[in-house]
Chains A and B, each alone.
Chain A
Amino acid sequence: MRISIEDVHFVYPGGVEALRGVSLSIEPGERVAIVGQNGAGKTTLVKHLNGLLRPTRGRVRIGDWDTAQVEVHRLAQRVGYVFQNPDGQLFCRTVAEEVAFGPRNLGYTPEEISQRVAEALALAELEDKAEANPYDLSPSWRKMVALASVIAMDTPIVIFDEPTTGQDVRTIRRIERMIEMLSQRGKTILTITHDIDFCAENFERVVVMGQGRVLLDGPKEMVLGMEAILAQTYVEPPQLTRLGMRLGFEKTVCTSEQFLETLRRRLDHPQSDPRAEG
């Protein structure tokens, strides 16, 4: 399902202009990360996709629906949204009930609900915690419950707001596996993140926002090397991208695979890079 954001402006009550003409088009199945400084308008923008906010000017379309014309509960069939803080969205007595809440509200049959719950629990690696109370789990596992409860709604579009904040490396790996699985099922995935290394390793397309506008939008290998523009919105290139730049790599590298591949090629053909000679 295509997302189409057309020249969207948004002014909060009180006069803060959070979006100043944003246009983006996202195709079904894309994996897109949105980065940018605190206050750049990232969360304001994604709240337009599930109708929590409506444009002051401009238009947002999810497939054939204009979000200004569609009620929030109907948009929930197309757009799932995982908040940054899981405690803002958990309220049931068991993990299984929590995860079943969304699909139940979308009107699925009991069989469909149990199938979706089982799948979501598997994707979130929560099978052995189905009967636990979410609040007896550690914050990391509560995060996975929040993710599962949105994934169970089986929406074509899933939005993650800062999924890795405060998480340790094992939880981040779980989230990465989950994103990979969702992607293989054809879901469109949008993530807001400050974790630029996580962005570089898991997303193909990167949108850079600053002061309510899109500063850069394109494949990560194009966007993440543009140090000067990233700095305008308080973002630094990923660690390995910076290392590649220091070493004079001609191509922007984002992952350790890309880094090692470039390194091997340079070692095999030192003459191909003038800086390696002499």
Chain B
Amino acid sequence: MAVIEIQNLTYTYPATSHPALREVSLTVEAGEFVAIIGPNGAGKSTLCYTLAGFIPHFFKGELQGEVRVAGQDIRRVRLEDWVLKVGLVFQNPFNQISGAKFTVYEEIAFGLENIGVPREEMKRRVEEVMALTGIEDLADRSPYALSGGQQQRVALASILVMQPEVLVLDEPTSQLDPIGTREVFQVIRRLAHQGVTIIMAEHKVEWIAEYADRVIALAEGRVIGTGTPADVLTDPRLPDYGIGISRYTAVARRAAGEGLWPAERRLPVTLDEAEAGFRAVEEAHAHLH
């Protein structure tokens, strides 16, 4: 079942002359984990804001085409209802913090309070997501007196606690250490298995390769590629568009240039694929000797 259906979406922010998104069409199924890649300014955040209803309801501007999420036209929804269906984790976690609460625990409970969730359920859900995002020890800290990485986990928890059907994440691991990044990707992967639809804008292609079901590449507001991570992340045009590729892909491409990658094999996007390919090269050479 398609949860997100976008047809010919063109969007222009107020007081700008160039569209931030141009003729974007895409479909996302329930429980899919879709990563959006693209250089800065490609329209990744704009697409996130649109799915979350901030466009057109908050940013205004001119929206053409069709955007349907969970069967509803994004133009017709009320933002206050929509935030319960679609959760958005901002790129800068600082923007996510309400400013109304003194502790991390209360901050995470804030959204549930606003919709009148019973106290016992609220406590259970808050404690569950704090465990899931690894921030139990921050419960009594001020949301403002945290490192960037800690704030990023709190921002994620404050959205997860709302149990949205669709989770939109704009570079949610930019301030996390590598293991913290892996933990967040694992949490997101698990949510997708539970049926939550995930859209994540992200630069870290080596993680996308490992965890996402599908990748959409944007450049200058247009979709320039869509498919499995293996297909999109080995597209030779990506560097020309200013999109990063994994070191595995890059080194194998150079190796292929000197005949050191198996001729019929697709370039690798993960560690496992790179290992398998280079082992095959070494074995072939060992037979020659």
**Residues of A bordering B, CB below 8 Å:** 36-39, 43, 84, 138-140, 162, 165-172, 194, 196-197, 231, 233-236, 238-240, 242-243, 246-247, 256, 259-260, 263-264, 266-267, 270-271, 276-277
Contact = CB atoms under 8 A, between A and B. Distances in A.
Given A168-B203, A194-B177, A260 B39 contact: no
20 contacts: A39-B150, A165-B174, A168-B242, A169-B39, A170-B39, A171-B40, A194-B176, A234-B177, A234-B180, A235-B178, A238-B247, A239-B246, A243-B274, A247-B278, A256-B247, A260-B251, A260-B255, A264-B258, A270-B286, A276-B282
Contacts of A196: 178
Contact of B260 (A37, A38, A140, A264): A264
A236 B183 CA distance: 13
Contacts of B282: 247, 266-267, 270, 276
Contact of A236 (B91, B179, B274): B179
Nearest to A239: B247
B278 to A, nearest CB: 6
Contacts of B279: 247
Interface of B: 38-41, 91, 147-150, 171, 174-181, 203, 206, 239, 242-244, 246-248, 250-251, 254-255, 258, 260, 271, 274-275, 278-279, 281-282, 285-286, 289
B171 A166 contact: yes
A139 B40 contact: yes
Nearest to A268: B285
Contact of B178 (A172, A234, A271): A234
Contacts of B178: 194, 196, 234-236
Main secondary structure of the interface of B (DSSP, over half): helix
Contacts of A162: 175
A259 B274 CA distance: 12
A83 B188 CA distance: 30
Nearest to A269: B289
Given A37-B180, A38-B176, A169-B243, 17 more contacts: A36-B177, A37-B179, A38-B177, A39-B147, A167-B203, A168-B38, A168-B242, A169-B239, A194-B176, A194-B181, A239-B206, A239-B247, A240-B251, A243-B248, A256-B254, A260-B251, A260-B258
Contacts of B41: 138, 140
Nearest to A143: B40
Nearest to B282: A276
Given A162-B175, A168-B203, A267-B281, A38 B243 contact: no
6 closest Cβ contacts across the A-B interface? A38-B149, A234-B179, A169-B244, A239-B247, A168-B39, A256-B251
A146 B181 CA distance: 26
A259 B249 CA distance: 13
B284 to A, nearest CB: 9
A246 B271 CA distance: 9
Nearest to B148: A84
Nearest to B39: A168
B242 A169 contact: yes
Contacts of B248: 239-240, 243
A243 B243 contact: no
Contacts of A259: 251
A231 B203 CA distance: 23
A266 B278 CA distance: 11
B285 A267 contact: yes
A38 B148 CA distance: 8
Contacts of B243: 168-169
B40 A247 contact: no
B286 to A, nearest CB: 5
A271 B282 CA distance: 12
Nearest to B45: A139
A138 B39 CA distance: 12
B247 to A, nearest CB: 4
B150 to A, nearest CB: 7
Nearest to A165: B174
Contacts of B278: 243, 247, 263
Nearest to B38: A168
A243 B271 contact: yes
A165 B175 contact: yes
B271 A166 contact: no
Contacts of B177: 36-38, 194, 233-235
B162 to A, nearest CB: 25
B135 to A, nearest CB: 11
Contact of B286 (A166, A240, A277): A277
Contacts of A194: 175-178, 181
A210 to B, nearest CB: 10
Contact of A138 (B40, B148, B175, B239): B40
Nearest to B245: A169
Contacts of A260: 251, 254-255, 258, 260
A233 B180 CA distance: 11
Nearest to B206: A239
Nearest to A235: B178
Contacts of A243: 247-248, 251, 271, 274-275, 278
